[in-house]
Chains A and B, each alone.
Chain A
């Protein structure tokens, strides 16, 4: 059952957004803080009601201001992971998960809680209180609790913002792995475009309450308006890849549409699909195939478009095979190399320039 959202408000946060999330699809609501993306999530959950809004899931109407329908949050069949996790501090992890379950025989609920905790790799910590868990563990309990209702919609409100980088990396993998077993629409709110690119199927970009763009991650990331709003520094492309070999010197060989690339160890079995985020400013372009270079990854690409910015830089959209690759270089270099649509050249990527938290397990295998 698809989730459909329409929200309009004049204040306190002006809103004018409409989007749709298919079952099993993960849509990221992306935007700077204060853009209204959390307000939108709260509208879906019923924790906030804008002047004019409509929220439907499949055939059931949760909110329709025109028809005077507004279900309270507890009657909307959803799971929500809060930014602060909001675990009940007086309940154990297992009891937190059970708190979201319908009234059933206790043994049944206990078994189901155990299954959900195992799903987020916390099988042995069910008896702990939230205060005895690390931030990452609390987040996973919150995810298990959100799933405990067997929700029709899963809402994630900046769920990775309160943990450190190393923990986040593990949690990304966990969420991606979990995706396979989720068949409801998932909405992720984040201000981190890299996070959205690694995890989401589609992005809805919001700025000052207005929808800038709704499209696949690739489409959105090549949209200059979006890049201007989100900050050009975060520009990058997500490359679909598959783990081909774990090599002896600590590198992992990945098979991509553009050919093989080598990155520092990416955990996973051979054949695992991953998504690698390549920052646009980390890529070097060369007209000739360079020789005697330390960089391991040299991919033949074709220039697809050159986008002029206001500053000294340009964004070059290349195609490596059929995979889009975004490169940010100076205008001077672009002119010097004579870059124009159709020109062939080589994209050079240092293995070491891809940080571990820029590699996520691909959700679609």
Chain B
């Protein structure tokens, strides 16, 4: 059992969720409430990581975060090291490839709030921020929870992009998915089986917990 890789994966998933939660709230809410020219294109862009082969996305990320890219050079100048093949680089990639998993369910969650409820919040004297906190977030919560669970579980399982952007540096970028691959390559089928089962269990519990909480919340509201 490769505990270092498992911990790294959990750390990566946790940070990705932490960064994407506010992004999901604001982007999902914006897409749910506003209609603007080019909205379809924006929605398509958000969905893109879902349909692109991970290697393609990984390739573009590698190029755009690499040492010769402006982002890579900026990072180098600020922190004195490369961005690719490091944990921060992996985290940026993880945030990007999880955008559809975070934004889409959040958007659906905000879309499910009747317009009259938002208007009622305003007519109750709530400022937009207070209405978000008191009315919108509690009602969009099932969608946001789904978004976070999918992001978490999907980060644990991502393989292709992690390999392209992160490589396989133990404790830095070697996630559990890559560790399993390494184990199989080294004919350690028992190790691969134990880790696969662990990953399976964590993912299942995450998703099940989300569904259970959503259903409980839904029962109270209906």
Answer yes or no: are A and B bound together in one complex: yes
Q: Which residues of A contact B (CB under 8 A)?
A: 45-47, 72-74, 77-80, 82-84, 86-90, 99-100, 102, 129, 131, 145-146, 148-149
The verdict on A100 contacting B124 (CB below 8 Å), with A82-B119, A89-B139 known, is: yes
Q: Are A99 and B220 in contact (CB under 8 A)?
A: no
- B122 near A72 (CB under 8 angstroms)? yes
B117 at the A interface (CB under 8 A): yes
By a CB distance below 8 angstroms, the chain A residues around B126 are 74, 99
Query: Could you show 21 A-B contacts with beta carbons less than 8 Å apart?
Result: A45-B119, A45-B123, A47-B123, A73-B122, A74-B122, A74-B124, A74-B126, A74-B131, A78-B123, A80-B123, A86-B117, A86-B119, A86-B120, A88-B117, A99-B121, A99-B124, A99-B134, A102-B125, A129-B220, A131-B222, A148-B124
Residue of A nearest to B219 (CB): A131
Task: Give the complex CA separation of A145 and B139 in angstroms.
Answer: 19
Judged by a CB distance under 8 angstroms, whether B51 is at the interface is: no
Interface size class of B (residues with CB under 8 A): 20 to 34
A82 x B221 contact (CB < 8 A): no
Partner of B120, one of A88, A102, A131: A88
Pair A86/B116 contact, Cβ less than 8 Å: yes
Interface residues of chain B: helix, strand, loop or mixed (majority): helix
Contact B123 A73 (CB under 8 A): yes
Question: Which of B116, B120, B222 has the largest count of A CB atoms less than 10 A from its CB?
Answer: B120
A240, B122: Cα distance in complex, Å: 39
Additional 12 contacts, C-beta under 8 A, given A72-B122, A74-B125, A88-B134: A47-B122, A80-B119, A80-B120, A82-B116, A82-B119, A86-B116, A86-B120, A89-B117, A89-B139, A90-B220, A99-B134, A129-B220
Would A90 and B138 count as touching, CB distance under 8 A? yes
Rounded to whole Å, the gap between the CB of B213 and the closest CB of chain A is 14
B22 → A minimal CB distance (Å): 21
